[in-house]
Amino acid sequence: MTQETAEWTEPAEPAEGYPEIDALFDSLPNKNGALIPLLHKAQEVYGYLSQEIQVYVAQKLNIPAAKVFGVATFYSLFNLEKKGQFKINVCLGTACYVRGAETILAAFEKELGIDQTETTKDGMFTLDSIRCVGACGLAPVVMIDDKVYGRVTPGDVKTIVDEHLGQGGQ
Amino acid sequence: MSEKAAQVRIALRNCGVIDPENISDYIATDGYEALAKALFSMTPDEVIETVKKSGLRGRGGAGFPTGIKWETARKSQSDVKYVLCNADEGDPGAFMDRSLLEGDPHCILEAMALCGYAIGAQEGIIYVRAEYPLAVKHLQLAIRQAEALGLLGDNILGGDFSFHLSLYFGAGAFVCGEETSLMNSVQGGRGEPRIKPPFPAVSGLWNAPTNINNVETYANIPQIIRNGWEWFRQFGTEKSPGTKVFALAGRVNNVGLVEVPMGTPLRTIIEDIGGGIQGGRRCKAVQTGGPSGGCIPAEHLDTPIDYESLAGLGSMMGSGGMIVMDEGDCMVGIAKFYLTFTAEESCGKCTPCRIGNRRLLEMLTRITEGEGRMKDLDELDILGNIIKDTALCGLGMSSPNPAISTLRFFRDEYEAHVRDKRCPAGTCKKLVGYKILEDKCMGCTVCARNCPVSCISGARKKVHVIDQKRCVKCGVCHSKCPFDAIARG
C-alpha cells in the first residue's frame, strides 16, 4: 500500500461540527463498520480528509484517532491533502501500459512541471496515476475528474491541459 | 469463424440485450424464475446439490467448487449468516464484473437471494468498487425495484423466506479482493487478510458463517437452478464445466469481453474472436490472471483454457484478464510492471509479501536498467518460490507468478538484458536511445513537430538533432519519420 507522506502532528481541536457526517451517521442502521462510509462521505463533501475531520469521525465512532488514520492511509481513494482543481489521472492498468501509458504520464509531468502525486503551484492540477478504469478498449486512457479521454497520444497532452486552463478559476 | 461463433453466453446473456434499469426486462427474460422455483419447489439442500452437481467453480481466481462452499456454510450452525458478493474487481485490465453489474444487476441479486435461501442467511452485502459509479447506480436501482415487487426484503413472493441486500463501497485496495481482507474492510478496518482456517463459511463477517463468491460466479447460478445442472454441464470440460468471461485487451484487433466454453484454446480467442494481432504482427505471449497470473508464450496457444491447464503453465485463470502481447513488448518490463503493482498493493501484514516483492522488484528494475547480474536470474526464481510458499494470502502466494513465468519461458530475453545490456523489444528506456541519421534526415520537421517534449531542434531542410538530456524516449519520432532517419539502439 502506498503510504501517505502526511505526518501526524498534534491533533487540532475538531471544528464545531460536520452536519453531513452527522446526518449519515444518524441514518446508518448499523453503526458497526461505519468508519469507511463516513470517510467516503467526508471526502465527497470536503474534498479531503483533514486531521480535524479524522479526529471528529474518531470521536463520533468512539474509536482511537489512530485507527481512523490507519484506515485513511490504507486505502488509495482517500486523500489526506487538498487536491488541485482538476485531478488528472493517467491509467496505468495493463492494457494502457501496453499501449504506452508511461509515455503519456511523462508528457504530463513535463507539461505541468510536476511529478506524479504532486499539485501545481497555482492549485490547478493534481497529477496522479490510477489502476484501470475498466475502459481498456480505449487504451491508453486519461481521466480528468470524471471525464475520460481515450486513445491519448503524447501530442494530445498539451491540448488537454490548455483546454482545462481555459476553464480554470471557476 | 466469425467473432461470435466460438462464444457461448451464459453469464453475459443479458448484457447489452436488456435495459438494466428496468426490472421488467429482466423478468421478461425469465428473471427471478429460478428464485421462485427454488423457494416453492426445492429444499435448500436440493439447491446446494444442484450447484454441486453442476461443477461450477469460483470464477474469481483459484476455482474452488462453489457448491462445497455453500454446503459448508449451510452446515455451520448460527442464527446469523451472511452472503457476500465480491465485486472488488481490482485487476488492472479486467472489466468483466463491471459489465455484469452495469448490464445485468438483477441476475446478481437473484443469485445472492438463492444463496441466502440455500445456506440459511437473511442478509447479503455486495462489496463494490467505488470506482464503478454506473455499476453502483444500477445496483441501487435494482435493489429498490426488486424490493418494490417483493422479490427482495421480507417474505419474498409471499413465502417465509426473507432476504435483505445492501451495498458497501471499497476505497481502492487491491488486496480487498481477498475474501478475509474484504470482510475486514466491511467491518470498517484496514483490508488486511487473516490466516485460514477458519474459512469464511465457518467464521466470516462479524465471525458469522459467510458465503462469499465473485460476481461472475453468481451470474451463473440462476440459470443453473432454472435449467438444471445437466444443462450447465453440456458446456465446458469435465473438470471445469461452463463458460468463462475474459476481458481481451492489448495488441489484438478486437478488444472487449468474450465468453467462451471452458476448454476453448487460447488461439481461438486471440485469432478468431480477437481478429489476430494489430498490424499483422506476431503474437509473442498472452498474459492471463492479471498480477497473479503469468505470461503464456505463443507456442502454447493451443492450450485449452481451464483451471488446471493454466496453472500447469505457471499462470492462472484469475478473474479473467487476458492481455495479448507482441514482439514490441518486453517480457522483463511486463514482469516489472506487475511487481510494481503488487509491491504497492501489498498490505504489509506478512513479511514475504511486504519485503520479498520489494526485493523482486529491485532485481527486475536493475535488469531493465542494464545493471542486472546473472545471479539475479537464479535469485529471482528462488525468492519468487519462497514468497509463493510462505505468504499469508492469495495476493502474496501468486504475486511472483509474472516474474517466474516470464523467466521460465523468456530466459533469453532476461539474459539479453543482463549480458548484452540490450532490450530485444526496444522498450526498456535505459537500454534504448534515439538518434537522427544525418545522411537520411531531410529536415522535414515532422519529428520536431510531433515530439511531446519538444526536444528536437533543427531548421527546415537541415539535419535535425535530438537533445538527449530532455528526450523521454517515447519513440514518437521513430514512428513518425517518413524517411526512416531515426535509429533506435
Chain A positions touching chain B (beta carbons under 8 Å): 1-2, 32-37, 39-40, 67, 70-71, 74-78, 92-95, 97-100, 103, 106-107, 110, 130-137, 139, 146, 153-155, 157-158
Can you spell out the DSSP letters for B167-221? EEE--S-GGGGSHHHHHHHHTTS------SSSPTTTS-GGGS-EEEEEHHHHHHH
Task: Please report, rounded to a whole number, the percentage of residues in chain B having pLDDT higher than 70.
Answer: 99
Task: Please report, rounded to a whole number, the percentage of residues in chain B having pLDDT higher than 90.
Answer: 85
End-to-end C-alpha distance for chain A, whole angstroms: 34
pLDDT band at A17 (very low <50, low <70, confident <90, very high): confident
**Pairing outcome for strands B321-326 and B283-288:** antiparallel
In a domain, B336, yes or no: no
Instruction: Mark which of B280, B296, B326 sits at the end of a domain.
Output: B326
Cβ-Cβ contacts under 8 Å between A and B: the total is 137
ipTM of this complex: 0.86
SS3 readout for B61-124: CCCCEHHHHHHHHHHCCCCCCEEEEEECCCCCCCCHHHHHHHHCHHHHHHHHHHHHHHHCCCEE
Do B478 and B442 sit in the same domain of this protein?
yes
Higher local confidence (pLDDT), B144 or A136 = B144
Do B43 and B142 sit in the same domain of this protein?
yes
Instruction: Mark which of B366, B390, B419 sits at the end of a domain.
Output: B419
Question: So what's the pLDDT on residue A2?
Answer: 46
In a domain, B334, yes or no: no
Question: So what's the pLDDT on residue A10?
Answer: 57
Separation between Cα atoms, residue B477 and residue B434, nearest integer Å? 9
Instruction: Mark which of B393, B419, B445 sits at the end of a domain.
Output: B419
In a domain, B2, yes or no: no
In a domain, B5, yes or no: no
Residues of B within 8 A of A70 (CB-CB) are 190
Question: So what's the pLDDT on residue B290?
Answer: 87
Q: Is the dihedral of CA A102, A108, A109, A110 positive or negative?
A: positive
Question: So what's the pLDDT on residue B453?
Answer: 76
Give pLDDT tens digits for A45-87: 998 999 999 999 999 999 999 999 999 999 988 999 888 999 9
Question: So what's the pLDDT on residue B439?
Answer: 93
Separation between Cα atoms, residue A161 and residue A124, nearest integer Å? 10
Give pLDDT tens digits for B223-232: 999 999 999 9
Do B194 and B304 sit in the same domain of this protein?
no
Higher local confidence (pLDDT), B284 or A2 = B284
Higher local confidence (pLDDT), A90 or B474 = A90
Do B446 and B408 sit in the same domain of this protein?
no
Do B215 and B274 sit in the same domain of this protein?
no
- Of B205, B180, B198, residue with least CA distance to B81: B205
pLDDT band at B433 (very low <50, low <70, confident <90, very high): confident
A103 closest CB neighbour out of B169, B173, B472 = B472
Domains of chain A and CATH, by start: 1-82 (1.10.10.1590), 86-167 (3.40.30.10)
In a domain, B3, yes or no: no
Asked whether residue A136 carries a pLDDT value surpassing 80, the answer given is no
pLDDT band at B215 (very low <50, low <70, confident <90, very high): very high
Question: So what's the pLDDT on residue A3?
Answer: 47
Do B124 and B175 sit in the same domain of this protein?
yes
Q: Is B130 on the interface with A (CB under 8 A)?
A: yes
Average pLDDT, stretch B226-241?
96
Separation between Cα atoms, residue B372 and residue B417, nearest integer Å? 7
Question: So what's the pLDDT on residue B233?
Answer: 97
Q: How far is CA B294 from the centre of its chain?
A: 12
Do B136 and B229 sit in the same domain of this protein?
yes
Instruction: Round the average pLDDT of chain B to a whole number and report it.
Output: 94
B454: domain CATH number is 3.30.70.20
Do B209 and B96 sit in the same domain of this protein?
yes
Cβ-in-10-Å burial (0-12, 13-18, 19+) of B388 comes to: middle
Poorest-pLDDT segment among A28-42, B170-184, B265-279, B346-360:
A28-42
Q: Is B131 on the interface with A (CB under 8 A)?
A: yes
Do B285 and B375 sit in the same domain of this protein?
no
pLDDT band at A145 (very low <50, low <70, confident <90, very high): confident
Amino acid, res. B154 = D
- Between the alpha carbon of residue B250 and those of residues A131, B93, B254, B321, B368, the distances in Å are 15, 9, 9, 10, 21
Average pLDDT, stretch B266-295?
93
Separation between Cα atoms, residue B480 and residue B445, nearest integer Å? 10
Domain hosting B193: range is: 23-233
Average pLDDT, stretch B322-351?
94
What single DSSP character describes residue B304?
B
Question: So what's the pLDDT on residue B489?
Answer: 72
pLDDT band at A1 (very low <50, low <70, confident <90, very high): very low
Q: How far is A9 from chain B (nearest CA, A)?
A: 22
Do B177 and B34 sit in the same domain of this protein?
yes
In a domain, B1, yes or no: no
In a domain, B173, yes or no: yes
Residue B361 main-chain phi, psi, to 5 deg:
-65, -40
Question: So what's the pLDDT on residue A5?
Answer: 53
Region of A151 (left: φ > 0; alpha: ψ -120 to 50; beta: rest) is left
Do B202 and B266 sit in the same domain of this protein?
no
What single DSSP character describes residue A119?
B
Question: So what's the pLDDT on residue A6?
Answer: 54
Do B201 and B84 sit in the same domain of this protein?
yes
Residues of B within 8 A of A132 (CB-CB) are 90-95
Average pLDDT, stretch B402-427?
95
Long-range pairs for A112-118: beta carbons < 8 A, 24 or more residues apart = A112/A88, A112/A161
In a domain, B9, yes or no: no
Asked whether residue A4 carries a pLDDT value surpassing 60, the answer given is no
Counting the structural domains of chain B, the total is 4
- Say if the Cβ atoms of A97 and B92 lie within 8 Å: yes
Q: Grid coordinates standing for B214?
A: 465473485
Instruction: Round the average pLDDT of chain A to a whole number and report it.
Output: 86
Residues of A within 8 A of B168 (CB-CB) are 33, 36-37
Asked whether residue B1 carries a pLDDT value surpassing 70, the answer given is no
**Pairing outcome for strands B82-87 and B123-128:** parallel
B266: domain CATH number is 3.10.20.600
Separation between Cα atoms, residue B436 and residue A170, nearest integer Å? 45
- Say if the Cβ atoms of B337 and A137 lie within 8 Å: no
Name the 3-class secondary structure at B232: helix
For testing the chain B interface, which of A40, A71, A116, A132 should be mutated: the one with the most B CBs within 10 Å? A132
Q: How far is CA B253 from the centre of its chain?
A: 20
Q: Grid coordinates standing for B312?
A: 500447469
The model's pTM: 0.88
